[in-house]
Structure 1
Amino acid sequence: MDGGGGAGGAEGELTAQETALYDRQIRVWGVDAQKRLSKAHVLVCGMNGTTIEFCKNIVLAGVGSLSLMDDNVVTEEDLNANFLIPPDESIYGGRSRAQVCCESLIDFNPMVRVFVEKGDPSLIDGEFLDKFDIVVLSRASLKTKLLINENCRKRSKHIAFYTIDCKDSCGEIFVDLQKHSYVQKKPGGATEQQELTYSSLQVDDLVFSDF
């Protein structure tokens, strides 16, 4: 399912429509950051109260594309924590979480492409991941988290990996950006290039446990 207008003009330049729509945030983080965002392709596996908030925010901000993977059929229980699902059974009845959430997100920002990817996250292979720059995983087993994290690291392109879960009043997030470079401002206005190196979910003989 396609969310409509594509992001970015010729050679990654912002269109006049994008510049006007995202004017306020461009004033905060600049044109270059908006260009990078408009070229980013994100995969989110598992639609719950936490991931839908993330999806809403990046769609409103103008991400290049967002793909949703969650084949589970919507139930009444989902209505308690998922504001992207209308409380009307004639709309969500018999449909997957990803399908219903996709339609709602398109309404938030028709300029962003939103897709549904059918499948089981535990069966995702590396070639499939090549379509994305960022992978966000939720409601998955530790085995699946380890598999996708490992596949992200094996690809020739840089793929950022996030896993996030919430249960009751507790939350868990893991981030693997592999290597992340940034510029740090020093006193007096000078700048210095910095680099962070991230660990994977499995570090040598240490494996993070299920949440």
Structure 2
Amino acid sequence: MPIQILRTLATVLTGRGARTAAGAALVTDGLVGIDVPWGRRRPGIVGSLVVLAVGLLFVGLGWWWHGQHQPYPGGTSATATVTGITNSRDSDGRTMYSRVLTFTASDNRRVEFTEPEQSSKRPAVGSTATVSYLPQDPGSARVIPETDWLPYGIIAMGALAAAVGGMIFLIRLVTLIAGISLLASAARRKVHQ
């Protein structure tokens, strides 16, 4: 009698019903992810595509921002002096500062502009910075920082998120294919019975 029960159990566990249940679970996990009991949320294939897209967006944003800190192709460089400071408050009420920079263009015209980027650190009047501008449009001047770590940090975080999203996508794709394969196997088994 115990052998008969074991054979029946083995048939149930390897039969069409078990394959259908396992296949359906794998397809569900592949598409939307199944939350595990201890609270960890697992993204499905759609969630992985969102993580991948957000990562690539940050890579693009960091790359664009880095490009805004590069000399203009065909542009001219000059040394600008901080001649003033503007301040404003951010959403948390902190005082933020922007430098007002002045330089002499190649046509001996004096150009003054306010740096669009802000900092919580008050700049020193009289300090200098390198700027790049287009000779036909000196008002296009932009500051070329000595170090440009923040855009590189954004690129690195975006690349990491994109890599994680890509890996999750591949894992969920394999899970989805395995689930579809099990469902197809269960369907074929029904036809042969």
- TM-score, length-scaled by structure 2: 0.20
- The structure whose residues are more often helix, as a share, is 2
Highest CA radius of gyration, 1 or 2?
Answer: 2
Structure with greater contact order relative to length (CA < 8 Å, sep ≥ 6): 2
TM-score (ref. length: structure 1): 0.19
